[in-house]
Amino acid sequence: MRGKIRVAVFISGGGTNLQSLIDSSQAEGFPAEIAFVLSSNEDAYGLERARKHSIPTGVIRRKDFESSDEFSNAIMDALEAHRIDVICLAGYMKLIPAKVIRHFRDRILNIHPALLPKFGGKGMYGMRVHGAVIAAGETESGPTAHLVDEIYDHGDIVMQMRVPVLPGDTPEDLQKRVLEAEHKLYPEALRALAEKIISEEKRK
Ligand code: GRF
């Protein structure tokens, strides 16, 4: 029988979503384990979180490579070395090389802090998203977990969770509410994808 789905989490910052994935994956019966954490910079606090759980980490920066080919090969080599099945982007602020997307087609998840297809696309990240939601007069927002393809925030939606936008909310208020929902949603989306992969493999 195959073991758990081996997951690499890509981060650039604080990694609260990484933490929720680590915590959830420790529950009995969870079909995936966090096997590797890759950061786009060496100062990301998420690296600390990984180390505390003895999860192997790597820092791969575009600026250390002459070509994008060498950069994507370095990422692919690290993923292969850790026998990774699935990638979860969790606040990763760099573009994923096309080679990685092709190789992990339908096996890369991202979490976006709004209800896609609204409020997504290039430049829609962080507080800008919540500001735009409030400016548009939306009464609901919430995270979207989706598959990653070559277009920003475009791949198939796996799961969403709704939270209210309350009168007088600042972008910071809304971010906090959405982030709490992210921490519940992302592990569930990972569980669903991992179970799907495992059951597809059984049918082969
Ligand atoms: C989250 O808001 C997520 O939706 C977005 O990046 C942020 C990452 O936060 N993609 P954290 O590093 O997981 O705390």
Tell whether 128 is covered by a domain.
Answer: no
- Domain of residue 199: give its range: 5-112+146-160+183-203
Q: What is the CATH number of the domain that holds 49?
A: 3.40.50.170
Residues framing ligand 1 (Cβ under 6 A)? 13-18, 90-91, 111-113, 179, 182
Q: What's the whole-number average pLDDT of the chain?
A: 97
92 CA distance to ligand 1 middle (Å): 8
1 — pLDDT class (breaks 50, 70, 90) = low
Cα 50 from Cα 144, distance rounded (Å): 24
Single pTM value for the model: 0.97
Q: In this structure, is the dihedral angle defined by the CA atoms of residues 115, 5, 44 and 49, taken in order, positive or negative? A: positive
Tell whether 195 is covered by a domain.
Answer: yes
> Which residue among the candidates 82, 112, 130, 146 is catalytic per the annotation?
112
Tell whether 36 is covered by a domain.
Answer: yes
In this predicted structure, what is the pLDDT of residue 204?
A: 81
pLDDT tens digits along 83-124: 999 999 999 999 899 999 999 999 999 999 999 999 999 889
List of residues 6+ apart from 114 with CB closer than 8 A:
120, 124, 129, 130, 132, 133, 141, 142, 143, 144, 178
